[in-house]
Structure 1
Amino acid sequence: MNIYFQGTNQRTFGTFPLTGGELRDAMTHAAEVGYRSFDTAQMYGNEEETGAALADLGFGRNEICVTTKVHPDNFRPEAFLPSVEESLKKLQLDYVDVLLLHWPPADGDIAPSLKLLEAAHKAGLARNIGVSNYTAQMMRDARNIIETPITTNQVEFHPLLNQDALLDAAVETGIPLSSYCSVARGEVFKHAIFAEIGASYKKSAAQVVLRWILQKGVSINTMSTKRANIEANFDVMDFTLSNIDMARIDTMTQVDFRIVTSDLVPWAPEWD
């Protein structure tokens, strides 16, 4: 079952890098506008605050989808399951809906951490499992390493970066993509094409970008602290970009603007 393509779970509210009152307020706004899918990670240092915010919101457990990610430092056999159990304690949950490996291991050998991830699933700590920041070849290899379905590969995905290799691998492996840095940390707003296209749909540049991602078959993960932006990011299901506008936006991938490189994150692999 692919929860990423069911209703509101196509749109996830990301919590990085929020903490404290800013996180609580943003999650409250997100819930009020309709978000029911929330994303955190051990690396973010806000699982405990995310769990407290979710508890305060008062949703039934089956009403929400919670994703967290295991830090590469915890990929050791003796550390993996205890770290997930600690995450659940912080989140005030008996299980997470989706448990991801946050990065490929530094040595490039993905098999050990994938098998630990599968063990967490079999132990009932996660309903679904997935990966993040995997290359196309890693996706192909992963599908042959474990039997448990891989729900998603969460990657940097926006219209200023060509991710065709990953999209092809998603089709080949049956592992859907989900996005982070969906508006390229604001870089998309430097390009007039998105606002120009948005004007004809009475939508903002950001909404056009997010709609383009969805129409590429990729679920979206967005974060904002401003209620108006949170609402706008959620409000992207009532219009469809034409084939012509999709093609116009496709040309922008030639910009080749990548945010996450090994200069920024030591675990970043050699990208496709």
Structure 2
Amino acid sequence: MEHLQTQGISLPRLGLGTFRMQGDVCRAAVESALGLGYRHIDTAEMYGNEEPIGAAITAAGLPRKELHVTTKVWHENLAPDAIRRSFDTSLKNLGLDHVDLYLVHWPSKNMNLPAMFETLMKLKGEGRTRAIGVANFTVALLKTVVEEIKAPIACNQVEYHVMLDQTPLRKYLAAKSIPLVAYCPLAQGKVASDPTLMAIGRKHGASAAQVALKWLLDQDGVAAIPKASRTESQKANLGALNVGLDDEDIKAIAGLPKDRRCVNPGFAPAWD
């Protein structure tokens, strides 16, 4: 498994997303993934599944330093005191003494960025999170955080897949050596039935989903966290690492529509 080095942490490029996984199903999924060799687990306070994930991590008995755990603070909890309360609860639910990466899950219209990042940097300074970052931040917001506040951002986690162009954001992140972590990397399953991706898959003895995932992982500075509760899906996603896409494949993928955003809640920022 390749890793991305960022702000003192080593981020496995393929991780497990856990949105909408709950209870015993979530615990079993994480135990399965860890058993298969996944070492990057992504969660959030809003998912309501940190406890089963913590139980799965405990059951796996892996050395803590081998594991990367990301969690996130919800956009309604971005006041400094609320961040601390959320963080304490997340750590307790996960049963850990630190997380590897703590993200602002979504920007908020009334957030105080300097106060937020002062709090996040204190948590980092206390060793309770090894790194801090953001999710769903636009280039305009990133410029404020990175260039004005000078916060040590370890990643921006955003929706990114073969059907959504993120070129301006990618260019900015690359210029600042900040990784992009792609959530919904399979466009919530839409890639599986795409004729172009299916055709490329047939050529390589792979599925359309594996083609879509490898397209992301072939890009510098990009990691991906596909959600997969079934062991077969988790294995298939790992199998994507062995797919070799050629120039003809890349050209065909470039021709797919690039305006299909799957996640756009009412509180989302105005996308650049």
Q: Does 1:159 align with 2:165?
A: no
Residue pairs, 1:123-272, within 5 angstroms:
123-217=126-220, 218-252=222-256, 254-261=257-264, 265-272=265-272
In 1, Cα distance between the equivalents of 2:246 and 2:7?
26
Q: Does 1:39 align with 2:42?
A: yes
**Partners of 1:185 and 1:4 in 2: CA distance:** 31
Q: CA deviation at 1:121?
A: 1.0
Is the CA contact 1:67–1:99 (under 8 Å) kept in the aligned structure 2?
yes
Q: Specify the SS of the correspondent of 1:219.
A: strand
SS of residue in 1 equivalent to 2:130: strand
TM-score, normalised to structure 1, is 0.92
Please report the TM-score for the alignment, with normalisation by the length of structure 2. Answer: 0.92
Query: For 2:185, what is the secondary structure of its paired residue?
Result: coil
* Deviation sequence 1:82-120 (CA, Å, 0-9, x none): 221121111111110011010112236533322322222
| Letter paired with 1:237 | L
Does the Cα contact within 8 Å between 1:85 and 1:125 map onto a contact in 2? no
1:114 and 2:130 are equivalent in the alignment: no
Q: Residues of 2 paired with 1:5 and 1:74: CA distance?
A: 25
Task: Tell me how large the CA RMSD over aligned residues is.
Answer: 1.9
1:66-105 equivalences in 2 (<5 Å)? 66-105=69-108
Worse overlay, 80-89 or 176-185: 80-89
Shift of 1:243: 2.2
Aligned residues, how many? 267
Consecutive unaligned residues in structure 2, runs of 5 or more: none
Pairwise CA distance, 1:15? 1.2
Task: Return the alpha-carbon distance in structure 1 between the equivalents of residues 7 and 176 of structure 2.
Answer: 17
SS of aligned partner of 1:179: strand
- Kindly indicate whether residue 45 of structure 2 is the aligned counterpart of residue 18 of structure 1: no
Deviations 1:224-258 (A, max 9, x none): 22211110111222233112211221221x34111
User: Is the contact made by 1:4 and 1:10 (CA closer than 8 Å) also made in structure 2?
Assistant: no
Q: Alignment partner of 1:236: what SS?
A: helix
Aligned twin of 1:9: 12
SS in structure 1 opposite 2:157? strand
